[in-house]
Amino acid sequence: MIRSVVRGFGTALPKRVLTNAELESMVDTSDEWIVQRTGIRQRYIAGEGETTASLGEAAARAALDKAGLTAADIDLIIVATSTPDNTFPATAVNIQNRLGMHHGFAFDVQAVCSGFVYAVTTADAYIRGGLARRVLVIGAETFSRILDWTDRTTCVLFGDGAGAIVLEAREGAGTIADRGILTTQLRSDGAHREKLYVDGGPSTTGTVGHLRMEGREVFKHAVGMITDVVVSSFDATGLTADDIDWLVPHQANKRIIDGSAKKLGIPLEKVVITVDQHGNTSAASIPLALAAAAGDGRIKEGDIVLLEAMGGGFTWGAVLLRW
């Protein structure tokens, strides 16, 4: 049985750090409120010349380096983003070109904060279906460019960045002892659109628009939706919360992460947290967190790793894999 195994990982962050203290001089907020309600202490903000594609390219190069591969070894690039450089062509094609890659194919997926989970699921389906052997999966965002910087309820929450992994086809026995992706679970429900959306777009206003969110409403649904897909992942594999070595959640809010871990019965020592450093980087948050924990040696070969996310749409999903 073919499994998709993580062979490399990499990240890229903009140069500029924006602290909570700086935000105090921009909107009516405080470091205390932001830290208490979200756990965020700082975020990175893209400057001139830094875009979703440039950050994605840098993360991709780092992931290829770590894997000991070059763009010549890749068949497919999938980029998860809601903040593309242009409406079209896809940011994935832009990154493909920046990497000097003119073979294979590349496309974007758009599932907002669940984007990386959607992209990994898509890559896994292509690999298991025999359509690609090595896939570069990138989550890259510049949410700073769609924020309303006068709206304190949203502008303090988000940041920019990118993370990438290389997934490679390997033969497995078809049991949960295999390395690689063991199950993926995706869901969406468009009835929740108004709770988290961007108030513009090419076919409606002809403008990019700004992010709008009813934070409390999103918060109310988050833990339940995350639990739903994680429980489905356990049902699909026979694994339980006790088998999880590392939970790598989407990093929107420390309170949502703590609440989900508690409900699932996963101790906080096994949860990777980067929201304090990066804020919510949407589709980039999971690969940024994954690379942090794999890079410093917390995640080791053979570990069971659970990825989960929930975001605009609503979309939500989980990936359970053996590292």
Which of the residues are catalytic?
113, 250, 280
Rank residues 136 and 256 by Cβ distance to ligand UT7 and give the closer one.
256
Near ligand UT7 by CB under 6 A: residue from 2, 17, 24, 29? 29
Q: Which stretch binds ligand UT7 (CB under 6 A): 41-49, 92-100, 124-132, 214-222?
A: 214-222
What single DSSP character describes residue 158? B
Rank residues 106 and 306 by Cβ distance to ligand UT7 and give the closer one.
306
Our finding on whether 99 is near ligand UT7 (CB under 6 A) is no
Q: Using the structure block, give the residue that is written with the tokens 């990982």.
A: 9
Our finding on whether 152 is near ligand UT7 (CB under 6 A) is yes
Our finding on whether 253 is near ligand UT7 (CB under 6 A) is yes
Tokens (6 digits) for 104: 């294979």
Chain residue whose CB lies nearest ligand UT7: 215
Instruction: Give the list of residues 6+ apart from residue 195 with CB closer than 8 angstroms, or none.
Output: 213, 214, 217, 218, 221, 314
Question: Which 37-76 residues touch ligand UT7, going by CB under 6 A?
Answer: 37-38
Our finding on whether 256 is near ligand UT7 (CB under 6 A) is yes
How far apart are CB 9 and ligand UT7 at their closest, in Å?
21
Our finding on whether 216 is near ligand UT7 (CB under 6 A) is yes
Q: Which stretch binds ligand UT7 (CB under 6 A): 6-14, 65-73, 182-190, 211-219?
A: 211-219
Q: What gap in Å lies between CA 66 and CA 294, rounded to an integer?
A: 11
Q: Are 3 and 178 in contact (CB under 8 A)?
A: yes
Tokens (6 digits) for 210: 């700004």
DSSP 109-152: E--GGGHHHHHHHHHHHHHHTTS-SEEEEEEEEEGGGG--TT-H
Q: Which stretch binds ligand UT7 (CB under 6 A): 86-94, 116-124, 148-156, 178-186?
A: 148-156
Tokens (6 digits) for 149: 């910087």
* CA trace torsion 81, 296, 184, 59 (10° rounding): 30
Which chain residues interact with ligand UT7 by CB under 6 A?
A: 29, 33, 37-38, 113, 152-153, 156, 196, 215-216, 218-219, 222, 252-253, 256, 280, 310-311
